[in-house]
Amino acid sequence: MFNQIISKAAVANNSEAMETRDHLWRVCSSHFKNGESPKIHKSRINILLFFAAMFLSSCLLFVGCNDKDEEPTDDIPFCPFDGVVAAQVEDGNKYNPPIVRRVRAVYWWDGGDEDGTTLVYANYTNGGFTMTFPVPNAQHLTKVDDDDRFHWNDISNIRISNLDAKLLKVDYFEGFSSSSGAFNMSAWVIDFWWGKVDSQKTIYAVPVYSDSDVTIRGSYKKDGSFTETYSLSFKQGWNWMYKTDSEYELKFTTECINDLKWYSYDDF
């Protein structure tokens, strides 16, 4: 009977816990009526109530620690982004028309074309381009815990604050020689990217749209030496995500990184 009482206390909410406590009192009182001394009776009651409280506290603590849906959202840095990209490519004049005439921001989604879906495009002039990201098609967004699109769920201790959030990630900035019409890959010339390179690491800045606020955090070690970490705070709208790739670590963060430049992939 004691184990049954404790099990009930472990799964009860606050009001049920009060009922369980009263039930314990009644059970112990019945022993007192059956001839036990008041001293023994009081001691048993205190012991039972103590262990019931311990089990109940442990249960509530365990239930409250949801690995994926109850993380605080206010302690991870994020970098404000208004959706406007003004790119001046390093040594970019060598790609001026007729080599590159247009640049498109492209993404992939489950129902899209194998060559990707164009979010927005801009003309390439004077070694660069400027574009403003629109709000993407809601049907093209992907659930934050979709393993096929985002692989952070491969990490056992990942923590996601809002499992209802949906995201869209811009995969590439593609340059084309064509001046109009569809973006046929036969006219593709080069990809551009925003980031930083030094002897220790490479940083890539990736635009991410979120339909609601969400944080994502977690880390794991691969092969005992390589670490992959996530510390992301996406606000509703467009965000920058920074991917830092070094010899022993791959880090994803939303904390602002300064002194980034636009490059072409031909440069590396």
Same domain, 177 and 60: no
**E strand or H helix at 6:** helix 2-11
Q: Do residues 40 and 90 both lie within one domain?
A: no
> Do 240 and 127 share a domain, yes or no?
yes
Number of structural domains the chain divides into: 2
Q: Does residue 33 surpass a pLDDT of 60?
A: no
Q: How confident is the model at residue 18 (pLDDT cuts 50, 70, 90)?
A: very low
Same domain, 60 and 179: no
Q: Is residue 120 scored above 50 in pLDDT?
A: yes
Q: How confident is the model at residue 67 (pLDDT cuts 50, 70, 90)?
A: very low
Residue 4 confidence (pLDDT) above 90 = no
Q: Establish if 77 belongs to a structural domain.
A: no
Residues 166 and 207 in one domain: yes
How far apart (Å, rounded) are the C-alpha atoms in residues 21 and 30? 14
47 and 180 share a domain?
no
Whether 16 has a pLDDT exceeding 70, the answer reads no
**Shared domain check, 218 and 113:** yes
Nearest-angstrom CA–CA distance, 226 and 242: 18
Mean of pLDDT values over 204-233 = 90
Span 107-111, mean pLDDT? 91
Domain annotation covers residue 69: no
Residue numbers of the domain that contains 223: 84-267
Position with higher pLDDT, 201 vs 56: 201
pLDDT value, residue 5: 38
The residues near 48 (Cβ < 8 Å, ≥ 6 apart) are: 2, 5, 24, 27, 28
Phi/psi for 169 (5° steps) reads: -115, 130
Same domain for 134 and 175?
yes
Average pLDDT value for residue range 33-58:
46
Residue 74 in any domain: the answer is no
What is the per-residue pLDDT for 154? 66
What pLDDT is recorded for position 228? 86
Average the pLDDT over 135-153 and give the result: 85
Cis peptide before 134 (omega within 30 of 0): no
Q: Can you say whether residue 181 is alpha, beta or left, with left for phi > 0 and alpha for psi between -120 and 50 degrees?
A: left
Cα of first residue to Cα of last residue in the chain, in angstroms, is 71
Q: What are phi and psi of 120, to 5 degrees?
A: -165, 155
